[in-house]
Each structure stands twice: as structure tokens, then as C-alpha cells.
Structure 1
């Protein structure tokens, strides 16, 4: 296994033309320090100054100047369709669940409790494997960090709670 060295920075959208690639699921793309193995068998140490949410197409920049592309790996997801997507999206968001939003469908990580809830709300829920790149939140690039947004707003902190209807 070739040692590629350290990656101490990220180039947003810089993965095209990179010398190698790592495929990481949604959770794996949130990192600060970790040893990774590339698709070509190279080894690198990611040592970023802060925890960073990497996106499909970003690049880890090695000390040598070489770049390693970041790819979103396939993972178990649920595709959600139905007659009232805004309502379904609200229920997903109310559980602080990352969600990819498209014009005519939503995607979340596979969760049987949420699948049952969504079916009860009239959704068609289809399991599949695909890369997951959910919405990044209202404050810019990446994912929302943490949960504290103040006050008791009546839905608790259990992402698998039953709907409040």
C-alpha cells in the first residue's frame, strides 16, 4: 500500500482530474482526522484543521499538491414520493433527519421506523442503494451541525418519535 502522505485541506469541487479517489458514505464524509484507503490502494491521513463536511466532487489536497477526489458512496436509502411532498418533507425535517429534496421525490437514509411513519402519511416508500447528498442547511455549505436551536418546541429529541397530529 503506497503512502500518499497527509491531506490538510479541501478543494471544493476540485475532484475532477485527481490522481485517485476515495468513496465515502454520508457519515464518512464528515471528518477531521482519519486514515483512508483510496480506490487504487493508496493510504493517506486526513488531518484537517476542523471537522469538515465533504461533498461528492470535492478533493483532499495532499502535502505534495496532488489531489484525491471524494465520491459519495452508494448506501441504503429510501425514495419517498406521494401527493403532498411538502407535508412529508415537514415530517422528515421535524425529526431532524437529513433529506435530499428533488422536485418530485425525497431521499432519506433507510430507517424502518420513518418508512412506516411516511407510509401512514400516504407516501410511497421505495428502498434503494444510491449516493446520499442531502440538503446542507440554511447557513451555507455542508450539513447542519448539532441540534440546539433553543427553547422547548414540543417535539423532543427522539428522531423516531411518533408524529404530533
Structure 2
């Protein structure tokens, strides 16, 4: 009986501190979102997005909510980077072994991996935590993943030497 009581007490303390940390994390994330103008959506500016993710990392927040926000932001950053790279090359005219094509293809792989990780982090959140994020954030990250995957497949169809 003593073991059960001690275990229950430890569980209660852990739960209370976990809830306090989540509330504190949400406040810190919200402050950063307001600072960088990202309360409703990520800003399509690579420099601002990079500054935002760097500050989010510096906060060193322990919650899964902070991880989900960070990976979501990094996913969007990779999509922006990929878009910029693809706008600078013409895949039909470019040599498949050019540095620009290889770099863009590698970005699709990184983009896909980070987007998958972001979805894993988002799927790990409970309904209360999901409500703290932007509306439709999970679906948006899924769209990022689809964009990265589709682009990677299309690039491979054009340049079969890419792998």
C-alpha cells in the first residue's frame, strides 16, 4: 500500500509540473510567434523563419508541443528553400549532374525527412496540445510532405541518375 501511495504521489507531482511546463511553453511559443508575425501562419521569408527557429531552439523547451512547432517551422523552411532552388533552374534544360540539380534533389530528401518528423511530433500531441497550435497545422505539414515527395519523384522521373 505504501508503494502505491508513493507512486501515486510521484505521478501527481510529475503531472502537475508537466502541466505547468506546458502552459509556460505555450506562452513562450506564443510570444515568439507574435514577435515574428507567425500567429496564424509561417512567414514566407527564409531569414525571418530561420531567426524564429533559432530562437525557438534557444528556448530549449522540454515539451512535445515545442518540438512539434520547431519541426513544423523547419519543414516550412525546407519547402521555401526548395521552391527558391527550383525557381532558379529549368529541370528540362539543366544537366542532371549539375550542382544546382543535385542540391535541389538533396533538399527534397531533407524536406521529406523533416516533414515526416514534424508529422510524427504532431501525431504525438494530445487534443489539448493540438488546440494550442495554429488551426490546420497538421494538415499543412502533410501538404509540405506531399510537396516534397512529389517534387522528389518528379525530379527522379526527369533525371534518372538522381538517387
Which category describes the TM-score, using the shorter chain as reference length? Answer: under 0.3
Q: Which of 1 and 2 has greater Rg? A: 2
Normalised TM-score (structure 2): 0.20
Please state which structure has a larger fraction of its residues in helix.
2
